[in-house]
Amino acid sequence: MTLKQKYPFRFGTSSYIIPADIIPNVEYLKDKVDDIELVLFESDEFSNLPSPDDMQKLAELAEEHALTYSVHLPLDVYLGHPDRRERERSVGKCLRIIELTRDLPKSAYVMHFEAGPGVDINAFSADENRLFTESLRDSITMLLQGTAVPASEFCVENLNYPFELVWPVVEEFALSVTLDVGHLEFYGFPTRAYLERYLPHAKVLHLHGTLEGKDHNSLVFMKPEALDLLMQALTDVPVPDRVFTLEIFSQEDFDSSCMVMERFLS
């Protein structure tokens, strides 16, 4: 069974479901989902950035199969770093991905607000919180000045710290939200309260279960009541362009998650 075009949202998953590169994954998923999250990265050691020919192929597949792509900006960008040189490097990295994916039909750009590799934002003092949010403001200003992409296409994801810390920045710049319900459950945030406050601003949802202390597993391992709560909210106020991403990374997790989702077919 395919779940493509079955829900009041765009049903999707990541570009790493079968053990292969991006193009074979999109080929595999093209008739199963409405949206594919492109998880792109580049480093000195390794890069998975598609070639120009691959980008053309992704655009053709999208057109033929009514796909959109949610582009996850690199994880090793630190838009809240206290050093402006690091913020400039991070913004530059984001802008390269935005330019690379310019011709794809996109649903959103997913982004993380981080302060540095391994930095625990939960341990920040009040002064460090102020520096973090001022650094984010500087980075977002640079980012928006460097691209014609509307601010609302950039969707800030909730991570392991309270989202209300960065919400003033999201609101000030008219950014959108990636509401990661898997993270809410994993880190123990109040899912109902977050849905009530942030779902109206969420262009993207991330769903995954927790198994043996690790997230990004099948929905089989997500609390049913949390998923029921979300699905009720999505049904009550349908937004057809909103993206619902199973943020998982194996065929087994994808298949079993789809079986969980089948019970919500009307």
Q: What is the pLDDT of residues 166-183, one digit of tens each?
A: 999 999 999 999 999 999
Share of the chain above pLDDT 70, in %: 99
Nearest-angstrom CA–CA distance, 2 and 177 = 27
The domains found in the chain, sorted by start residue, are 10-264 (3.20.20.150)
Per-residue pLDDT, averaged over 58-71, amounts to: 98
Q: What is the pLDDT of residue 47?
A: 81
Does an H or E element contain 195, and which? helix 191-198
> What per-residue string of b and e applies to 43-61 under the rule 16 or more CB within 10 Å gives b?
eeeeeebbeeeebebbbeb
Q: Give the residue from 185, 177, 184 showing the smallest Cα distance to 162.
A: 184
Full-model pTM: 0.97
Query: What angle do the packed helices 84-100 and 126-145 form, to 10 degrees?
Result: 40
Share of the chain above pLDDT 90, in %: 94
Residue 44 has pLDDT above 70, yes or no: no
Q: What is the pLDDT of residue 11?
A: 98
What is residue 42's DSSP assignment? Answer: B
Q: What is the pLDDT of residue 102?
A: 95
Q: What is the pLDDT of residue 153?
A: 98
